[in-house]
Structure 1
Amino acid sequence: MSKKQYNLTWAKIGNGSGFRLNSSFFKDNPQFQQASGAVEVIGPDTLLVRLNPQSPEPSEDELILSLFLDFVTKQALLAPETELEAYTEAMAKEDEELIAGVELDN
């Protein structure tokens, strides 16, 4: 992660006001273009800025997998004593044996 600092200046924006970053920030960090976020005041002269980059729309497969994992997680949390099982070294060894020699395509 880059430790480069970027200058910002106060600016009147429409009927409001805000801070303006140099375009070099967005050239160096294109993931933050059109991002939303929040600012938290953590000291008299210190702000914490959290930016939420826009992520591309998930594919149908990613969406279905995400919904399935959400469902499984919710079910496990509703009854952890019956739904959750510790992952043991023996299980890990068995899994490693199952996938030994398998090659993945990019």
Structure 2
Amino acid sequence: MSVLSKGNKQHVSLAQVIIHHLEVLILDEPTCGLDPNQLIDIRTLIKKLGQDKTVIPSTHIMQEVETICDEVIIINKGKIVANATIEELKAQNKTNSLEEVFRKLTN
């Protein structure tokens, strides 16, 4: 795989997951370093996989979270400080910004 681009490596990794029919996928920074086209492709694939699998992306990019997630767990110093839908978190914190919620709960 060393001759593949980062985006193609991401695609191959996700293809391996699909082939093995895993029920739970944990993805660490799944779109890090991708070009805009690859970013859209991977986000679309992750959303599709999430229709019948549990997909857990680990990322600090709140825009990414808002694009591919329905529910969010925010962990600060090893403790869960939030576990809700994006809309619930925004409403609870009286903001339209998930990034603002994250900053508030992790400072």
**TM-score, length-scaled by structure 2:** 0.22
Q: Which of 1 and 2 has higher RCO (CA within 8 Å, sep 6+)?
A: 2
Structure of greater Rg: 1
**TM-score, length-scaled by structure 1:** 0.22
The structure carrying a bigger helix percent of its residues is 2
